[in-house]
Amino acid sequence: MKSEGIDFLPLPEGKIFTAIKLSAVFAIFAVMTASAGAETVPGEISPKPAQAGTAPADPVPVLVKPEGQEFVLLKNWTFGNKRPDATIRDKTDLDREFRYRYIWEKGTLDKFKTSWSYHRDYPEGDPRSLHVFGENTLTLKGRIPPGGGLRDRGIESGLLRAKFPMEPGMYIEMRARLPGGVGVWPNFWLEQGIEHPDGKITVHSKVMSEIDIFEFFNWDGRPETRIIVCNTHPWGGKEAHGNPHDIFTTLEDAKYERHLDLGFDCSKDFHVFALDWVKDEPIWLVDGKPLKQTHYVWTEPGAHLIVADTIGIEFAKDKLTQMVADEKKWDYAIDYIRTWKRKTNGEKGKTNKQDEKQKGN
C-alpha cells in the first residue's frame, strides 16, 4: 500500500508495527549482506580460517551473509593468555587499554545508585581479582567480599571502560558468554564523554547521549539471560536527540520496557552482540542478525564504551526474592571486543588495485 508517497511492506498481525518502510528493509538487508571479503560457507556466520601459506586476514564483523561491503579494523581486543591471536594477554595489557570505573566523579565512580555491585580491580594473580584471564577469554567476575551479601554495596564485580574513543560511523562488536541467574544485570553500552591520556575529561553536555547495545534484567521469573533490552536515552529531552523513533524493530512493547526473548540463554554459550553505529540511525544485531534500527541523534563529539558485570538491581529489589549467592553464575566471559569502520569508495578502489598488483606478482 502507499502512504504519503512512501512504499510500505505489511507485517503479520500482532506485531508492534503493522508496516515497515521499504527503505528501512533495504538498509537492513544491506547490513545483513555486509562483508570484508572473507570466504564463507553457506549457512555459516563467521569467515573460514585463512588457507595455509596465506597471511591471516584482519578479523571481520560477524554477519549472516557477509557480501558487499568492506571494513577497516580500528581496534582489536582479543583476550586470552595462550591463544596465538590474542592482543590482550594479561593485566598489564588490560591496563593499557581500559579503565575500571565509570567516567563520572573524575573517573572514580565505582557504582550507580541503581545497582548493588561496586567495581574494583586488583593486581595480576590476586585471589580477589575481578578480571581473570583464561586461555581464550577474559572473565569479569562477581564476588561477595568479607562482610558483604545480597544487598547494596554487598558485591564486587568487574567493569571495563575503553580508553579508545568511539564515534558515529563505527561498527562495534563483542563475543561473550553472559552471567546468569536471578539478580544479574549484564550490560554493554556507549555513553558520552572521553577521558584523555592526560586525565582530562570532556565537559559533559546537559543533553546527555547514551546507547545501550544491550542490557539483560534478570529478576524473579527470569533466571535465564534471554530477555534483551536495547535502549537509547533522550536525556535532556527528545527534541535534542531528533525525536527518537524506531525505523524497524523486533522488540515487543512490555509497557515498562521494550524487549525481545532471544529464544536462548546467553549464559550457556557465546554469542555475538553488535551495534552498527550508522550516523543518527544505529542498528542493533545479535549473531549477525539485525534486531532493530532507531533514529537517534548523538549530541556529543564522541563516546566511551562500557562493559559491566552489574549484579543486584536496586530499583527492582522487590523482584529479587529468588536471587541466590551463586558466584559461579556471575561470570561474564569475553572472547573479544572489536571496532571497525566501513571503507570509503576511495579505500575500496585502493584495495582493489593492491589486490590486482599482488595477483600480477
One-character DSSP codes across 91-129: HHHHHHHEESSBSHHHHTB---TTBS-EE----TT-TT-
The whole-angstrom distance between residue 289's C-alpha and the CA centroid of its chain comes to 14
Residues 6+ apart with CB under 8 A from 226: 216, 261, 262, 263, 264, 265, 266
3-state secondary structure of 26: helix
Backbone angles phi, psi at 2, to 5 degrees: -115, 150
Question: Per the structure block, which three cell numbers stand in for 110?
Answer: 565505582
State how far the Cα of 136 lies from the Cα of 295, in Å rounded to an integer. Answer: 37
**How far is it, in rounded angstroms, from Cα 297 to Cα 309?**
28
Look up residue 223 and give its three cell numbers: 533466571
Q: Which residues pair with 241 in a beta bridge?
A: none
| Cα→Cα distances 269→178, 231, 312, 316, 348, Å | 8, 24, 22, 27, 36
Rounded Cα distance, 247 and 167, in Å:
21
Task: Please tell me the distance from the alpha carbon of residue 109 to that of residue 120, in angstroms, as a whole number.
Answer: 10
- All 3 cell numbers of residue 209? 547521549
DSSP H or E run through 294 = strand 289-295
Which domains are assigned to the chain?
Answer: 71-342 (2.60.120.200)
Distance CA 334, CA 272 (A): 10
Separation CA 297–CA 168 (nearest Å): 10
> What is the Cα–Cα distance from 136 to 88, expressed in whole angstroms?
10
* Beta strand pairing call for 156-157 and 118-119: parallel
pLDDT of residue 281: 97
Q: What are phi and psi of 272, to 5 degrees?
A: -105, 125
Classify residue 58 by its DSSP letter: P
pTM reported for the whole predicted model: 0.83
Phi, psi of 168 (to 5 degrees): -55, 145
- The whole-number pLDDT of residue 176 equals 98
The rounded radius of gyration (Å) of the Cα atoms in the chain is 21
pLDDT of residue 349: 61
pLDDT at 360: 54
pLDDT tens for the chain, residues 1 to 361: 332 332 323 333 333 333 334 344 444 444 444 433 333 333 333 334 434 444 568 899 999 877 887 899 999 999 999 999 999 999 999 999 999 999 999 999 999 999 999 999 999 999 999 999 999 999 999 999 999 999 999 999 999 999 999 999 999 999 999 999 999 999 999 999 999 988 899 877 788 899 999 999 999 999 999 999 999 998 889 999 999 999 999 999 998 899 999 999 999 999 999 999 999 999 999 999 999 999 999 998 889 999 999 999 999 999 999 999 999 999 999 999 999 998 877 666 665 555 555 555 5
Q: What integer pLDDT is reported at residue 202 of this predicted model?
A: 87
> What does the block give as the cell for 107?
573517573
pLDDT of residue 256: 86
Rounding to the nearest 10 degrees, give the CA dihedral for residues 326, 328, 334, 335: -150
pLDDT at 39: 36
Pairing mode of beta strands 2-3, 184-192: unpaired
CA proximity to 76, closest of 283, 348, 335, 285:
335
Residue 47 has a pLDDT of: 38
Q: The C-alpha cell of 281 is what?
A: 540511525
- Confidence (pLDDT) at 85: 96
